[in-house]
A and B are shown apart, each in its own frame.
Chain A
């Protein structure tokens, strides 16, 4: 093992943090659904795939960039509305495991439909963001990662503001807190759920474009959910801030562990180390860093 080089450490750390933001992008989609309807939406990954595939396929068929973006957006909005109407509403008041299984099934349906419509080949996606690394204070930073982080930050600011400061945001939190009470005071739950699924679809589109540009748009894009799960365990399933902080910790933890601990195991621990962090967290803080747990008064 070479001597500790602070500059190298910083570079690994920054790279890890920025990679973590990419995980957060996917995790936020989960949080939106879980926060409002207590459903762990396993189909979030498929939605990411569908969004990216729709966009890139339209682009390849000669549709202009912005039109493709708008059409993909429209597709995700329609999908969100359709899911609420055909899956969520009939299963209202069913146990969480039933809803989880429904989203599991849904993920295969979405994947299947996406590939049926758009085919199974791998697409390259160029968003026109220059991915040349540039140097800040001796550290190399990927410009693409920086842009992705900026987009994620904007999304988090928007969503947090929405949940905290608008009345509809308050209604969302109320519906998440107690569905029966929300129903009893006359909140329109179906509308709230539909909005949440639409928002999750839009987030999936953003994540799909960024991840697609990074990995290529293909079937395995839906596996990004597996990267988001430890982030959710860490940050809490119902906290948007948690999704970001969790992503940062997981991203940094992965990269640092790969570089500094990996060599002792012969490398390759990056892919599963996130789950080790998540497991430790489950033991210490089951609700996650920012997850909601009721505080008992003394």
Chain B
């Protein structure tokens, strides 16, 4: 995977006035995504209360918290599956009460799912091509009438899919049925499908769940490479705290639908409220009972 790191180091931009390649500092980050006082409840049960989050361009932003803290609900708000009772989602300066899911891809947002949402009966390559095709939205008549153009688009789609398959080291399996692959590889195929359209924002819902240690390390490398290579902003939900702390730029911690901490991995790890939420608070009157 040495090619990944080699390609990703310098940030070079072509200066239009001189047509020369110049090295510039990365532009000052601005929020690509913002959650503005999001409140979401299901039949009186508050899943998320008054949640604020800013995500800067090119940042890897983790949201962590114990089971049932409301993490997945937040991702579903960002991708428009849920409409929050209060609050707004800002994507690239546009404000939404509910994000239109059908336009998500065109807004530059892609996501993966905790329990995978792959086309199991299609090949790996076809899965990835779909990720690109869904963004293009060329219409039916164009496909039938514009045969030449349709062929060019098809070649374009295949080329892009090939690049991503290369990038994520899926070269050995493009023609295999996605559903027949080992779980870790399926997760990677889903990442490939999300990345093929070069999204500005990538939402990852527990990308490492159920993986072996080696697979987790690979996935970590791929997520970081995606950010470095394509400048993708990543929002990550993950249970493995070790991975989160190593991978993320900033971490928000959720407990019972409320944000209890937000900051760099080091800050969050030192935060007493976070430690309490994860390890539990000692109660004097409740003697610890151990069941064999």
- Residue numbers of A with Cβ under 8 A of B are 165-168, 170-171, 173-174, 177-178, 180-188, 195, 292, 294-297
Contacts of B96 in A (CB 8 A): none
> Are B143 and A177 neighbours in the complex by a CB distance under 8 Å?
no
In-complex Cβ contact of B130 among A166, A170, A183 (8 A): A170
> Are A181 and B118 neighbours in the complex by a CB distance under 8 Å?
yes
> Are A168 and B143 neighbours in the complex by a CB distance under 8 Å?
yes
Chain A residue nearest in CB terms to B131: A185
When A and B form their complex, which 4 residue pairs have the shortest distance between CB atoms, in order from nearest?
A186-B105, A181-B117, A186-B134, A177-B119
Complex CA–CA separation, A183 to B80 (angstroms): 12
Complex CA–CA separation, A45 to B20 (angstroms): 68
In-complex Cβ contact of B153 among A165, A167, A184, A195 (8 A): A167
In-complex Cβ contact of A173 among B101, B105, B122, B150 (8 A): B122
18 residue pairs A–B, Cβ–Cβ below 8 Å: A165-B154, A167-B150, A167-B154, A167-B157, A170-B126, A170-B129, A171-B134, A173-B119, A173-B122, A178-B118, A183-B101, A184-B111, A184-B113, A186-B102, A186-B105, A186-B135, A294-B179, A296-B180
> Are A170 and B140 neighbours in the complex by a CB distance under 8 Å?
no
Contacts of A186 in B (CB 8 A): 101-106, 134-135
Complex CA–CA separation, A297 to B150 (angstroms): 34
Number of interface residues of B (CB under 8 A): 39
B138 interface contact, C-beta 8 A: yes
Query: Known interface pairs A168-B140, A297-B181. Does A178 touch B102 (Cβ–Cβ under 8 Å)?
Result: no
In-complex Cβ contact of A295 among B113, B126, B177 (8 A): B177
- Residue numbers of B with Cβ under 8 A of A are 79, 101-106, 110-111, 113, 117-122, 126, 129-131, 133-138, 140, 143, 150, 153-154, 157, 176-177, 179-182, 193
**Min CB gap B180→A, angstroms:** 4
Query: Known interface pairs A167-B150, A174-B119, A294-B121. Does A185 touch B134 (Cβ–Cβ under 8 Å)?
Result: yes
Chain A binding surface, main DSSP class:
helix
Chain B residue nearest in CB terms to A180: B117
Chain A residue nearest in CB terms to B81: A184
**Min CB gap B292→A, angstroms:** 39
Contacts of A167 in B (CB 8 A): 129, 133, 136, 138, 143, 150, 153-154, 157
**Min CB gap A182→B, angstroms:** 8
> Are B180 and A295 neighbours in the complex by a CB distance under 8 Å?
yes
In-complex Cβ contact of B119 among A166, A181, A195 (8 A): A181
Complex CA–CA separation, A174 to B129 (angstroms): 11
**Min CB gap B87→A, angstroms:** 23
Query: Known interface pairs A186-B102, A186-B104. Does A177 touch B133 (Cβ–Cβ under 8 Å)?
Result: no
Contacts of A165 in B (CB 8 A): 154
Chain A residue nearest in CB terms to B122: A177
In-complex Cβ contact of B133 among A170, A178, A181, A292 (8 A): A170
Complex CA–CA separation, A180 to B110 (angstroms): 15
Chain B residue nearest in CB terms to A295: B180
> Are A187 and B119 neighbours in the complex by a CB distance under 8 Å?
no
Contacts of B113 in A (CB 8 A): 184
Contacts of B101 in A (CB 8 A): 183-184, 186
Complex CA–CA separation, A106 to B117 (angstroms): 32
Chain A residue nearest in CB terms to B112: A184
> Are B105 and A185 neighbours in the complex by a CB distance under 8 Å?
yes
**Min CB gap B108→A, angstroms:** 11
**Min CB gap A90→B, angstroms:** 18
Contacts of A292 in B (CB 8 A): 121
Contacts of B126 in A (CB 8 A): 170, 173-174
Contacts of B157 in A (CB 8 A): 167
Contacts of B179 in A (CB 8 A): 294
Contacts of A187 in B (CB 8 A): 130, 133-134
Complex CA–CA separation, A178 to B119 (angstroms): 6
Query: Known interface pairs A170-B126, A170-B129. Does A185 touch B154 (Cβ–Cβ under 8 Å)?
Result: no
Query: Known interface pairs A183-B101, A185-B193. Does A177 touch B180 (Cβ–Cβ under 8 Å)?
Result: no
Chain A residue nearest in CB terms to B110: A185
Complex CA–CA separation, A121 to B121 (angstroms): 47
